[in-house]
A and B are shown apart, each in its own frame.
Chain A
Amino acid sequence: MKLIMAIIKPFKLDDVREALTPLGVQGLTVSEVKGFGRQKGQTEIYRGAEYHVSFLPKIKIEVVVPDDLTDQVIEAITKAAHTGKIGDGKIFVLDIERAQRIRTGEHDSEAL
């Protein structure tokens, strides 16, 4: 099992979700996060006072999938979240040791 963690632009969330459902992804976790990368930040001006905001709002998606689905999911997210402009985000993949569904006690791939 792999944990696929993707940081994407907030307005791309629906596109990503729609791209993942046909692959058999049955659930994912979404968080509103802030961070910086090559996009740097943005400048805000309030009555002449300029503030450089270095942390921009992003969406973090976390989805755990069976090993054989990993490449397809990465590809789908990349395609759906792509705009070609700086700040599109990144995808990280981690190994998952165990998984368990709380309601039924099912393990690992059955729990996904």
Chain B
Amino acid sequence: MKKPLNVWGLSALLLPALLLALPAFADDAAAPAAAAAAAAAPPKLDSGDTAWMLSSTALVLLMTIPGLALFYGGMVRKKNVLATLMQSFAITCIVTIVWTVAGYSIAFTTGNAYFGDFSRILLNGIAGFIVKGNDTQAFVLASGIKDVADMSTTIPETVYMMFQMTFAIITPALIFGAVADRMKFSAVVIFVTLWSLLVYSPIAHWVWAPSGWANQMGILDFAGGTVVHINAGIAGLVCCLVLGKRVGYGSDNMAPYNLAYAVIGASLLWVGWFGFNAGSATAANGRAGMAMSVTQIATAAAALGWMFAEWITKGKPSVLGAISGAVAGLVAITPASGFVLPGGSIVIGVAAGVICFWSATSLKHLLGYDDSLDVFGVHCVGGIVGALLTGVFSYGALSATDASPDGSPGGLDQLKIQAIGVASTLVYSGVMTFILLMVTKALVGLRVDAEEEREGLDIVLHGEQVF
């Protein structure tokens, strides 16, 4: 018990220091922003776009709480239901603060190709354009590089920051399905804080900030195939390899406690995903409409793909299979939405449904790792399927701009760029996850002991039980 106390002591010392710094940041925030506004014609706000992005932000938060919480909570055993719900809920709170303090700044400021700068620490300057209760101009993320265009939006920076925050929340929440039933809550808290800052924010910067190297290379990742799903999926695999299998894996009955919860959770994920994908257009426009359309189509195709694959090979079309297929489809269409047309989305959906069915039901047992809720099998594998097929099916007109009239059509060159993005995410996230797990292990340990695991995390970690 000595080690965890030291950690809390350290953070207790740091927190007041950060809070003291807050007024200092707020004071000098307005000056540079005002100067920038005078230099060029300010990008106009659009109330319709802003309204859609406010709504999308709420939809994406709905994906984590209660969507993912119920999806995962329904799939674990009765003794671990509350601990699993608590992971999603606590991560929502932790990442909100981490994102506010430094995560947003690392991801979405100019910095260099790999890492943002610290100009938005504690959201410093985010109120820079506010006059009489509204922003005087829309948010622009400067590339900071001569020939690379700035990223202009038509919404206030607060809305952009909040929308991106909900992505930063769901990504680490996805990871812990891989180590359900056995990770210490204190380890989750520490690991998530470090991982969000040192893995999620940098990768979001690579892919989505104009100065990020993957963005400059021309990677197509509309809503987070690499940043969210491959990233969380590979981290989940590393976590479950480092923590080891559940006690009784392969001999005990580990049937889900309540699949009805999982169905409700998966359905909320599906609905919330419209904010995730169509919201990633950062506007209420035709591209958002196309993103929403292909999201619906690919998800349905993937659910049917998994269902029929299971029906044919195992004899019964299971409910868990159908909802798992739907999630696989949502994952795979994530990078592609906003780039592909309905025809391509059907192919992406079916491919994701069938391939993820294979990876979750056969590959896992073949290789012998205990990825409890198939985070790798669904999110990483589905994310890779989607990221690569985006490079094949991308329709140029959807991403065309004045500066780039052809947009980014699919083809062999684009496929190569996609593959580089996938490989880089796998390597960086995989290695960093391992390092951060070792750090966490040294601080508080990673896993509850075998007796506590048998008793169940709800009572051991939280002192409560689900009815």
Contact = CB atoms under 8 A, between A and B. Distances in A.
Contacts of B256: 46
B365 A46 contact: no
Interface of A is mostly: strand
A46 B320 contact: yes
Nearest to B306: A47
A48 interface: yes
Contacts of A51: 253-255
Interface string B336-378: 0000000000000000000000001110110000000010000
Contacts of B111: none
Interface string A35-53: 0000000001111110101
Interface of B is mostly: helix
Interface string B311-339: 00010101011001000000000000000
Interface in B216-272: 253-256
B320 A48 contact: no
A47 B374 contact: yes
Interface residues of B, number: 16
Contacts of A53: 253, 255
A45 B259 CA distance: 13
Q: Which range contains the number of A residues in contact with the other chain?
A: under 10
B355 to A, nearest CB: 14
A47 B255 CA distance: 10
Interface of A: 44-49, 51, 53
A45 B311 CA distance: 12
24 contacts: A44-B255, A45-B314, A45-B316, A45-B318, A46-B254, A46-B255, A46-B256, A47-B320, A47-B321, A47-B324, A47-B360, A47-B361, A47-B374, A48-B314, A48-B361, A48-B362, A48-B364, A48-B365, A49-B254, A49-B365, A51-B253, A51-B255, A53-B253, A53-B255
Which of A44, A47, A48: most chain B CB closer than 10 A? A47
Contacts of A49: 254, 365
Nearest to A53: B253
